[in-house]
Structure 1
Amino acid sequence: MEKIALLTDSACDIDEGTIEKYNVEVLPFRIIYRDREYVDKIEITPREVYDNMKYEIPKSSLPSLDDMEGAFNRFERENYTHVIAVTISSGLSGTYNALKMVSKKHDKLSTYVYDSKSTSLGEGVIVKECGKLMDQGKSFSEIVHCIPEMKKRMHFFFVFGTLEYARKGGRIGKLSGILGEALDIKPIVYFDNDQGICFTCGKVRGRKRSLSKMIDIGSRFLAKSPCDVYIAYGNAREDAEDIYDRISKLSNVKNIYMIGQISPVVGVYSGPGTVGVCYMEQKS
């Protein structure tokens, strides 16, 4: 009898109900300031990270090898037989490679480590979809087989409040050619499926237009099939609530979820003002 564990990292943004329902193990990143280091989502909140950015932009480090070993040891103690791990993009972090290395030491467990080539909602939605398949009684091999197809149905876009933090953190990806802040040019950003780094799928002038453009882009997926929609933000609750209200009125929105604040480790690089929307096409 298979017993499947779900594993992710703290860059993953999804509702706490999903984490609790499927007993998801979350490996925490570290948020590093000049005088102190914090365990992501445990010792520091997203709001604290965003509010402190006017004074200091912290750095981050991937989950520790000890934390990874501890997770696999717990799975073995609790008689799990299989592990499905969904990680932050390998284009942003070494977590994927480190976790693959650790998993090989635990040959009692059949482990599949999936590079989401994304972060935040892009990780969280895949974790949730895996949990749904577990509820349906799907086997480990069946779920693993479905994950690449899940990825094709998942479309995650976001708008930064400013490019300052991504630029300073070295996570700017292919956005470096965007001129700018002076012209109030706002890119709509996504993660490409090959490298797992940021690309631009549209540029408009002004904050309001950029948020509207993000909704317009999502409408093409809603025209194709019913979608679950997920929204997250970084200290931009009013904008996120406005987008929630506008999208909830569109046709083919099956469910819409306000996930809340983007995780601290993602917020270090995305900064305050970021709003993300993820459209997950649902099978008919």
Structure 2
Amino acid sequence: MNEHKIALLIDSGTDVPMEIVQEKQMFMLPLQIIYQNETYTDKIDITPREVYDRFSEEIPKTSLPSGEVIHRVLDEIKAAGYKQVFAVTISSGLSGTYNAVRLIGNQDPDLNVFVLDTKNIGIAAGLQAIRAAELIEEGIDFEDLIETMTKEVTANRVFFNVATLEYLQKGGRIGLVASLVGNMLKLNPTISCNEDGIYYTVAKTRGRKKSIENMIQLTEKFIGEAKNYRLAIAQGDALEEGLWLKEEMTRRFPKAKKILFGDISPALVVHTGPGLLGLGIQILPE
């Protein structure tokens, strides 16, 4: 029950599964996928498969939602009767969406807008949106929601593995990941976001299988002694491996509150290329 009338706004890069977006009545700001001759709206008029299929002819660019789109969605929120907006975006260290929503939201005299910098990407940011939705349903007030979610940012983590670093490098999202050395030595890095929300290499292993096992071990370490946690698996053109990973995580983490599974958004496909496997971890209060 949303008794305090708090609207939950996300960007499409958080990778919240669309069925949860609809169930929780989230408002979504889609990122943009830009080709030389046309621009697409993330998750609306382009699919991950279409991006993969066009890689041979062009690697597109991505952009944050336009100011016009942000204004339009905020107007939709007002029209629905909301005066408070809790927005969840991917890391400010990886996208300008956080700042754009914050600046435009603060200029709206009819809305009280807070933007959470998740310091994460993809489903690890999405888990934070899902947590916010649950707290809103429980009837939390706006200030307590801000305080709780801000404190819990560090309770969320992402680990992911890509088949090649080429796309992160070409898209300018390489962060602190050493690309050339990794490619030359055929090392397969496990990547995460640091405390500033920027990509960095957590570990380097030789070979895909060892790298996936490494992600699982890092997940075990992050969970530690926690008894209440939620997991998510994201895949990009790696469905068979992704389904195997879900089975493995179900076996190894039987106490998980839930294990979500889904595709990454077309916008994230642009920066990771084919063959992505990711793990999102969220430690919940006991």
Give the TM-score band, short-chain normalised: over 0.9
Compute the displacement of 1:221 (Å): 3.1
Distance 2:173 2:222 in 1: 27
Aligned residue among 146, 149, 158 for 1:147: 149
What is the letter of the counterpart of residue 219 of structure 1?
E
Change (3 A) 1:280 1:63: same
Q: What's the secondary structure of 2:163's corresponding residue?
A: coil
Matched length: 283
Distance 2:260 2:106 in 1: 37
Distance 1:177 1:250 in 2: 31
Whether 1:56 aligns to 2:58 is yes
Distance 1:73 1:14 in 2: 22
Farther-moved stretch of structure 1 (133-142 vs 217-226): 217-226
Distance 1:190 1:172 in 2: 11
Distance 1:59 1:17 in 2: 27
What do you get for the CA RMSD once the two structures are aligned? 1.5
Distance 1:114 1:165 in 2: 27
Farther-moved stretch of structure 1 (37-46 vs 102-111): 102-111
Aligned residue among 241, 244, 250 for 2:243: 241
What corresponds to 2:44 in structure 1?
Answer: 42
What corresponds to 2:108 in structure 1?
Answer: 106
Contact 2:178 2:201 in 1 (8 A): no
Distance 2:255 2:17 in 1: 18
Contact 1:222 1:252 in 2 (8 A): no
Q: What's the secondary structure of 1:224's corresponding residue?
A: coil
Aligned residue among 31, 39, 49 for 1:29: 31
5 Å-filtered alignment, 1:1-284, equals: 2-176=4-178, 179-194=181-196, 196-226=197-227, 227-251=229-253, 253-284=255-286
Contact 1:222 1:251 in 2 (8 A): no
Change (3 A) 1:258 1:237: farther
Contact 2:11 2:29 in 1 (8 A): yes
Distance 1:17 1:164 in 2: 32
Gaps of at least 5 residues in structure 1 are none
Distance 2:183 2:260 in 1: 28
Compute the displacement of 1:178 (Å): 5.4
TM-score (norm 2): 0.94
Distance 1:228 1:9 in 2: 21
Q: What's the secondary structure of 2:234's corresponding residue?
A: strand
Distance 2:17 2:255 in 1: 18
